[in-house]
Structure 1
Amino acid sequence: MKRDEPTHLGWDGSWDAECDVVVVGSGAGGMSAALTAAHAGLRVTVIEKTAYFGGSTAVSGGAVWIPENTLMAGVGHTDSRASVMRYLDATIGPRMRPELMRAYLDNGPRMVEFMHAHTSAVRFTSRALSPDYQSDLDGASMGGRTLDPAEFDARVLGARFDEVRRPYPQFMALGGMMVNRKDIDRLLAAFTTVEGFAHSTKLVWRYLRDRTRFSRGTRLLLGNALAARLFKSAIDAGITLMSRTSAHQLIHADDRIVGIVVVRDGKHTAIRARHAVVLASGGFAASPAWRARHVPHAEQHSSLSPEGNTGDGMTLALDVGAQLARGNASNAFWSPVSRMKLDDGSARVFPHLVTDRQKPGVIAVNAKGRRFTNESASYHAFVNAMHDTQTLPAYLICDSACLRQYGLGLVRPAVQGFGWATSYRRYLRSGYLIRGNTIADLAKQLGIDAHALEQTVSKANLSARTGRDAEFGRGTQAYSQYLGDPAHGPNPCLGPISTGPFYAVVLYPGDIGSALGLQTNANAQVLDDAGEPITGLYACGNDMNSVMAGNYPAAGITLGPALTFGYIVGREIAAHAKAPAAQGIETQ
């Protein structure tokens, strides 16, 4: 019997459907748990609140941080547990929970091997150059620890391709073509180099062919490639995938979680989960109410999380006696953002992650016209500096030469070889891009002290000539240099601000996902107020509290733990279910 009545009045003891495991959420953590459990012979159902599969993973950069992985040797790197722990001790400190960190580091490489050996589509490649974010600290790595999902040809999904969540439009070219950093460099050089022309022609021709059959380009990169690879693997594994299905109530009976009530098309359905329910619904970052309670300066804050990430899994767990973790360095993973008001009244939010702040000729200032931090620091560290110095908002400033070469936020760089000026009219008209003929004029437009801004720019120009930033040491770390312009000297992150007109965009604090989550043990079992496991209930992804305790040591420290603890969850459920141990899964 399908149920229409509200279930908060009590579950009546009957079931509408059953399986071995119900997974709430279809991002990296949930899909990893589902694939691992399914490989062990368990029947798995994944419910997804929205119309699209992939969650935050699908709109992310796709980086996966797995120290000591077996792929790093192929790009010339080695690693050791001792060096990893020295780095993590330095970046996380006493907030680290050693038992969770050991579980993550022990199982991360096993997860990668499992995905390659036992899923139809999940594949990773290792980055030869990807410095950890605090690359000057002992134990930091210059590359190899961060993996990327391999490029994916989504044509194999056929009609189901449209079920994968799309990337944000600001990260696609021509309205639907995904590009990475190398693609962008070659597209910008399409009319000045043979390589650029050849690569750009190939990309655009492929995209135009795709659009005759599909709603967007099928060459998937970054997190969208990972989400699609997980989705394809789940289809091939026979996992039941239910979209537009929200989790409504966990069912607790006989001292354990025995099932879940879901809502689909307005109907309440009770699904028996014979062995476990896994919460992987993406955390709380898209919920204004949760942000108001747990995020500083929530009134100015913007999140890049998908609309479905509203704390549903955490709320369900709290209703059955779970607890939130305490003592994080931050409750979300920060990124500075800019916001452009569109003609329809909505806003487009752009996260300033790696494309502009680090480039020579760009500086960030506060309302007094002074720099307040190292612009080339990680996005998380940059927003921490905004919080610490009460720089709300900040202003990102450059000159016309810099804007043309590197772009600024939503304003793209100009294609090389064009003789005419790039039009910034729509960005100026919307108020997103602010222009001044002189530095003093720009200061006036921004409402900040003109004399102070002129002094700041003068200091920045001196630093550009000498290659030394006396205030914040910009461009001295390998991570900063990696994201600067290697062709620019003497410092790849320091450049002049001298060619008018001058431009600015306004920066606000934002996030790319929540870090605060449910307290779990090393097996990702959700803990109650007494610190005891709630039998039959697990959490991973952003529903589980950050194993980094709200710190951000390197690229991929959200997806790496999500996939790894998802793998741990699937393995643990299989072990407790006494299912036949499948090859490649340790059940002891």
Structure 2
Amino acid sequence: MDTEEVDLLVIGGGVAGLTAALVAAIEGLRVLVCEKSDQLGGTAATSAGTVWIPGSSQSRQAGLADPLEQARRYLAAEIDTDSGAELREAFLATGPRVLDYLAQHSCVEFVPAVRHPDYHDRHAGAAIGGRALVARAFDGRLLGRDFARLRPPMRSMMVLGGMSVSKDDLAPLLRPFASRAALRHVLALLGRHARDRLRHPRGTRLVMGNALIARLLYSLRQRGVAVRTGVAVQALHQEAGAVTGATLSQEGRDVHVQARRGVVLACGGFGHGAAWRQRFLPAPGQTHSLMFEGNTGDGLRLAESVGAAIDDIGHSTPAFWTPVSVLRHADGTRQMFPHFALDRAKPGLIAVDARGQRFVNEGDSYHDFVLAMLRAPGEAPAVPAHLVCDAGFLRRYGLGLVRPGAWRLQPFLRAGYLHRAPTLAALAAGLGIDPAGLQATVARHNRFAQTGVDEDFGKGTSELNRFNGDAGHGPNPCLGPIAAPPFYAVTVWPGDAGMSVGLRTDEDARVQGLDGQPITGLYACGADMGSIMRGRYPGPGVTLGPALVFAWRAVMHALQQRPG
């Protein structure tokens, strides 16, 4: 068997793995990254790419003061368990330093969102902006041939056959003639995309998660780090209880890699691992996963083989959730749309269960929305649930995969993705829900729309609701009548966008054994690591923020170890 020796072996080419590799390279270590698929980026590449890191210098420079004590108070109110408290404290203390470190030593640079509220402003310490940051847009042409190795965004998150758009692009694209600035912005986007498509399979103006992964990959290229794809990890090696390397397999050839300072597991969790889903997730047959298909639990499997413990204590739910709708194409393929923010909070939409009744504040966070679906009692199932609106709503805001403007509806109607009917009773019958219940629910909701007060669920009362609503609509930016036929609906299911359950680690991301002691030489970060949030979802980016921070902490600890 061939042998190879490095300082640090990183298993997984997503945001956590690439960050760990970059930090190791900056610190002068010889590092090898192994990704089992043919493309890099994992789930993060298809995500919004937001990181939640309070107290950053970037936010202070933008005029957004955010003392860490406020974030500490907020997390204490959000997370009602001591489990993981030491890790949360390490995260808060280290997060700002990690952002500055990456900005100083690489091209990984973040911009704070002036307004991107925490998800529960009822809790003390919640912030309206500054804690959520996104990577600056990146020119994918700088990657050269490596652009093809970057996993593209979800098909449903691109327009015009491969143009990536951010939230800031949406308003100009939907109303290009609203102002000269909007028109200039749209013309610049379209011109760039037209030029890109002459030479590339998709647009090279990268935003959100694609920009983050591209910046990490470009920084690794600048430092000459070996990033190999199509590599499977067969087994970890141990000597005297310490993990010292792994056996890799690529194109039928096995290689033994000796890792002098340790191995970092960053395999993306178990979103598509059937046995793991059966073990930890509720009603696995009724959920869909937005995670990368290659996330099958390899990191957890490898760690358990050397005696690691799974961290499933104190988690209010094993996953991080979002409602998804599913379009089934004629060729048998599926296209999922995550209903994060574009439609649910807008005025003139309700979500109903099998009784035709509302069960949740539709404008609440995607995670909270699905938790309400899963909590629904058996006599009133909300899995699946249905988003209901009228023709006016569809024209103004769109619904799921149906873009605003309500044109070219036939493909969605034929596929059964979009439901349409001339009356609410007929719509309910087509959905298989109670017609009388839906009619009564809409009538009650329409009274709320007139007064601007949702007496049942308080839609429009939180900062998050209003942020995702329609600021130009009154008296409540999140409440509007459902009255103009025909009526429409899209069915949504629970979708996991990340895992909370993972490997048990300490504050330096060292994987712990069943005895609670660290396994020397073995680290885990990203979705392989049990979430410090313990199944709670306090704000945008609470999976990627800790992924960066604990990747950094893992490498900083490995640096202190005597080479094996």
Shorter-chain TM-score tier:
over 0.9
Secondary structure of the 2:428 match is helix
Q: Of 100, 115, 119, which residue of structure 1 is paired with 2:87?
A: 100
Equivalent in 139, 143, 150 of residue 157 of structure 1: 143
Aligned to 1:402: 393
| Partner residue of 2:508 out of 491, 511, 523 | 523
Give the alignment of 1:114-513 within 5 angstroms: 114-119=101-106, 121-191=107-177, 193-327=179-313, 328-389=315-376, 390-414=381-405, 422-513=407-498
In the TM superposition, what whole-angstrom CA distance separates every residue of 1:556-581 from its partner, at most 9, and x where no partner exists?
100000000001011111122479xx
For 2:301, give the aligned amino acid: T
> Secondary structure of 2:450's match?
helix
SS in structure 2 at match of 1:339:
strand
What are the superposed Cα offsets for residues 510-545 of structure 1, whole Å, 9 maximum, x if unpaired?
111111100001110000000000000000000000
Structure 1 contact 247–313 (Cα < 8 Å) conserved: no
1:18 matched to 2:9: no
Residues 324, 517 of structure 1: 8 Å contact kept: yes
- Residue 326 of structure 1 aligns with an amino acid whose one-letter code is D
Distance 1:56 1:453 in 2: 37
Partner SS for 1:55: coil
Instruction: Describe the superposition over 1:25-54 as per-residue Cα deviations: whole angstroms up to 9, x where unpaired.
Output: 111211111111111111000001111111
Deviation, 1:196, is 3.0
Distance of 1:548 and 1:423 partners within structure 2? 42
Which of 514, 519, 530 is equivalent to 1:534?
519
What letter is aligned with 1:534? Answer: I
Normalization by structure 2: what TM-score? 0.97
Q: State the distance in 2 between where 1:342 and 1:296 align.
A: 27
Alignment partners' CA distance in 2, 1:450 and 1:166 = 42
Q: Which runs of 4+ in 1 moved over 6 A?
A: none
Alignment partner, residue 110 of structure 1? 97
CA contact (8 A) 1:259 1:277 kept: yes
2:11/2:33 contact within 8 Å kept: yes
Q: Residue in 2 aligned with 1:418?
A: none
Deviation at 1:95, TM superposition (A): 4.5
Confirm or deny: 8 A CA contact 2:115 2:129 kept in the other structure. Answer: yes
Cα separation, 2, equivalents of 1:47 and 1:578:
21
Code of the aligned partner of 2:524:
A
1:322–1:519 Cα contact (<8 Å) kept: yes
Residue 546 (structure 1) aligns with = 531
Contact 2:60 2:66 in 1 (8 A): no
Matched residue type, 2:249 = V
Greater alpha carbon shift after TM alignment, 210-219 vs 141-150: 210-219
Q: Secondary structure at the match of 2:337?
A: strand
Q: Which among 22, 26, 47 is matched to residue 60 of structure 1?
A: 47
* 1:568 alignment partner, SS class: helix
Letter in 2 for 1:459: R
CA shift, 1:214, in A, is 1.5
**Unmatched segments (≥5 aa) in structure 2:** none
Give the C-alpha shift of residue 182 in structure 1.
2.2
Instruction: Find the residue that maps to 1:534 and give its secondary structure.
Output: strand
Instruction: Give me the whole-angstrom Cα distance separating, in 2, the residues matched to 1:192 and 1:60.
Output: 29
Q: C-alpha distance in 2, partners of 1:345/1:578? A: 52
SS at match of 2:263: strand
Letter in 2 for 1:426: P
Give the Å deviation of 1:99: 1.1
Question: Does structure 1 conserve the Cα–Cα contact (< 8 Å) formed by 2:326 and 2:335?
Answer: yes
Say whether residues 1:27 and 2:18 are aligned partners.
no
The answer as to whether partners of 2:55 and 2:68 remain within 8 angstroms in 1 is yes
Amino acid at match of 2:398: G
User: Aligned-pair RMSD on alpha carbons?
Assistant: 1.3
**Per-residue deviation, 1:551:** 0.9
Query: Matches of 1:387 and 1:95 in 2, distance apart?
Result: 25
Task: Tell me the secondary structure at the aligned position of residue 212 of structure 1.
Answer: helix
Does the 8 A contact of 1:136 with 1:478 survive in 2?
Answer: no
- Offset, 1:326: 2.2
1:586 aligns with none
Partner of 1:71: 58
Q: TM-score, normalised by structure 1?
A: 0.93
* Alignment check: 8 A CA contact 1:188 1:196 kept: no
What one-letter code is carried by the residue in structure 1 that aligns with 2:506?
Answer: N
- 1:211 positional shift: 1.4
5+ long unaligned stretches in structure 1: 3-15, 415-420, 580-588
Q: Which amino acid aligns with 1:137?
A: H
Task: For residue 213 of structure 1, report the CA deviation from its aligned partner.
Answer: 1.8
Paired AA for residue 140 in structure 1: A
Of residues 21, 32, 43, the one that matches 1:45 is 32
Question: Which segment is superposed worse, 481-490 or 72-81?
Answer: 72-81
Distance change in 2, residues 1:291/1:351 (3 Å):
same
Please tell me whether the aligned partners of residues 26 and 46 of structure 1 are also in contact (alpha carbons under 8 angstroms).
yes
| Counterpart contact for 2:312–2:318, Cα < 8 Å | no
Identity of aligned residues (%): 45
